[in-house]
Chains A and B, each alone.
Chain A
């Protein structure tokens, strides 16, 4: 059964190039390698550029809201 599954993977690799096909490939080992890289980055930034952007957006939003809160409560 496993060999059949492998052959399906071979075929689908040849015919389709998108990632959205069955069966889904196990990408966990790649992720494990990425997140265990010894680059000194904390886990919340270790995934790539998007992590930093999302972090900055969240921080910006929260700080902005703090001002909004102070404004509403100090009228």
Chain B
């Protein structure tokens, strides 16, 4: 067995990066085929490949860290930088949609009736389900922090309870939001109001689903004893992502649901 004189992780050659790139190409071109030619074969195949690559790549990261011990403090520091940079890039992604919203809503055109919400649009009552959703996500931020404290204190049972509750709250939010989507009197095609509303909240909802999935993987790992009280970066990364999702919602709620109604 070779020994290295440094604390970095020299990874084994892996097929997942190139397969992932291929899957991304197939998914994006599949989207085009679906939008313009009404065929979803390529898209389905692309999404399936993406799922397989993600499962196997992240499975390998768990093997390299928990089972092979490659995640030294140096490596973990790099992973922390990486996660922070990724979340920052997602912040910029959402910033774009907020820019679009404010561009159209601060100076509504005559075509919209010179007002915001535009003439004929009945916005959702911000004090109804959206407020409940706000409470749900804020509560889930508390429960995920509770889970973290339980992990650092070595309290396995409590950590499992808190993380399960966090995921349940996330699922509750998703279900309520899906119901709200069904109940709106306006659609994505209803002027720039519909576009900005559904694209921004839609991408947010997707991120809630991604975050819930990430937390679920962490729950499974927690149950399987993967985390120690001072080494559980996978969980921390999931918790950071979840807080990010919560904060985006708060901005969405304040700007689109409340100010924009």
**Residues 5-20 of chain B: 1 if any A CB is under 8 Å from the residue's CB, otherwise 0?**
0000001111110010
C-alpha spacing A33/B74, complex, angstroms: 24
**Contacting pair B15 A59 (CB below 8 A):** yes
Interface size of B by CB at 8 A reads 34
**A28-B225, A31-B67, A68-B41 known; A58 and B52 CB under 8 Å?**
yes
Q: Is B26 in contact with chain A by the CB < 8 A criterion?
A: yes
Q: Say which residue of B15, B68, B224 sits within 8 Å of A27 (CB atoms).
A: B224
Q: Say which residue of A26, A32, A62 sits within 8 Å of B22 (CB atoms).
A: A62
Q: Is A46 in contact with chain B by the CB < 8 A criterion?
A: yes
Q: How far is the CB of A59 from chain B (nearest CB, A)?
A: 7
Chain A binding surface, main DSSP class: helix
**Contacting pair A65 B223 (CB below 8 A):** no
**Contacting pair A68 B42 (CB below 8 A):** yes
Q: How far is the CB of A70 from chain B (nearest CB, A)?
A: 10
- Residues 1-56 (chain B) with a chain A CB within 8 angstroms: 1, 11-16, 19, 22-23, 25-26, 29, 33, 41-42, 45-46, 48-49, 52-53, 56
Q: Which residues of A contact B231 (CB under 8 A)?
A: none
**Smallest CB gap from A71: residue in B:** B42
**Smallest CB gap from A42: residue in B:** B12
**A43-B14, A44-B60, A57-B52 known; A62 and B29 CB under 8 Å?**
no
Given contacts A28-B224, A58-B53, A59-B15, 15 further A-B contacts (CB under 8 A): A24-B225, A27-B225, A31-B66, A43-B14, A44-B16, A57-B52, A58-B19, A62-B19, A62-B26, A64-B45, A65-B49, A66-B22, A68-B26, A69-B26, A72-B33
